[in-house]
Amino acid sequence: MKRLSLIVAVCLASAPASAALKPGVRATDFTTQAVLAGEPYTYNLNKALKRGPVVLYFYPKAFTSGCTVEAHEFSEAADEFASYGASIIGMSADKVETLKRFSVEACRNKFTVGVASKPVIKAYDVSLPVMGGSNRTTYVIAPDGKVLFAYSELGVKGHVSGALKAVKNWRAANPKSK
């Protein structure tokens, strides 16, 4: 059975998935437990959107190799995202205690990580049953709540660069927005 699970995981990792929410649709609001720089707080998507676009990325599990690399890449780009008015939140099914460490060690205190509950995973259609949590999907959501960018790929490549391009394009089209 373990071997079958491994084979399924390898197959899933080698094939790109399509993001469930397509650009132009309204993103589902949610409130969740979150952590920034090791400090827990309550995060609400609609509240964050009042300050500008949100890069919402889902990842399978904190402290796994790909998820740590992706967190490092987002942390390296966090200041550039902020310069365009965007904030970042990474979401996984991990517990808050794990996210406290991950936010400091992997995210380098640069952005929020939150608990992806089953309803949130379902609403964003990012379920990865093999891991019991979410797959690797990145969305950029405009302040009006509409999805600007959606990218699902279990590999790390393309998530940060695609999201940054979407945020830059949004800023160019909305120079006076928050």
- Write down the domain spans for the chain: 2-173
Residues 36, 168 contacting (CB under 8 angstroms) = no
Task: For residue 67, indicate whether it is catalytic.
Answer: yes
Buried b (16+ CB within 10 A) or exposed e, 8-39: eeeebbeeebebbbeeeeebeebebebbbeee
Tens of pLDDT along the chain (178 residues) come to 443 333 334 334 433 445 679 999 999 999 999 999 999 999 999 999 999 999 999 999 999 999 999 999 999 999 999 999 999 999 999 999 999 999 999 999 999 999 999 999 999 999 887 767 899 999 999 999 999 999 999 899 999 999 999 999 999 999 988 6
Residues 23, 149 contacting (CB under 8 angstroms) = yes
Q: Which of 67, 99, 115, 142 is an active site residue?
A: 67
Q: What is the pLDDT of residue 11?
A: 36
Q: Does domain 2-173 have CATH number 3.20.20.70?
A: no
